[in-house]
Amino acid sequence: MQAIATGELKRGVILKEARLARQFGVGRGALREAVSRLEGLHVLEREPNIGFRVIDYFSTDITEVFVVREAVEGMVCRVAATTMTNADLDHLAEIVRRGKEMAQHGKFTSGWDDDFHFIIARATGNRRLIRLVCDDVFFQLRLARHGTVTHASRLAAAAHEHEVIYQALGARDPARAEEAMRRHIVNGRNYVEAVQRGKSR
């Protein structure tokens, strides 16, 4: 999954099972299991007698996923505003600091955005919310975010939005935290859709 999320495995390129097994140093059985799982997540599609390819997420309708994520992560932030420990907030502050540095230098570091969202989700202590945000349900959306948050303009905006969310959580204000997260997800959706429209022209 990490190789797909980071773009190491390019979208639309035919992938051969034997070559991937050598590349990642895994057995054919383990690779087939991973491929089957990713097919179920609609991340890979099989090409009969050829191999398989990573889907182009811009060719899929991810708007529905963004709508669900806005609701889920908004609730996550509302809960986390009352459950986050000082250690959680310190950890989040470090992610916010990293984001501001990246925005200043225009240099994206893989995992930064996921780390921010995962810390907040885990701080709720709610296993179902944690699974929704951190597990495979939103993997396709994380692909879309990786493809756009690396753009300088969105990176700067996302870094600022993270800081606003952090401040609301630090103030222990559930309503403000939920609103800030919802705004962040909506802005991300708008950016992805704008990129998608540009690519379709």
Could you state, in chain order, the average pLDDT of each consecutive group of 10 residues for the chain (201 residues)?
65 80 84 81 79 70 82 96 97 94 78 84 95 74 60 84 98 98 93 73 53
pLDDT at 90: 97
Task: Tell me the C-alpha distance between 69 and 167, whole Å.
Answer: 21
pLDDT at 192: 80
pTM of the model: 0.76
Task: Tell me the C-alpha distance between 101 and 95, whole Å.
Answer: 10
- Using an 8 Å Cβ cutoff, are 148 and 154 in contact? yes
Domains and CATH numbers, the chain: 2-55 (1.10.10.10), 63-200 (1.20.120.530)
What would the two tokens of residue 68 be? 């669900």
CA distances from 31 to 23, 46, 189 (A): 11, 14, 32
- Using an 8 Å Cβ cutoff, are 158 and 184 in contact? yes
Describe the strand order of the beta sheet including 44-47 as a list of residue ranges: 14-15, 51-54, 44-47
33-59 core/surface letters (b: 16 or more CB in 10 A; e: else): eebeebeeeebbeeeeeebbbbbebbe
Phi, psi of 45 (to 5 degrees): -130, 140
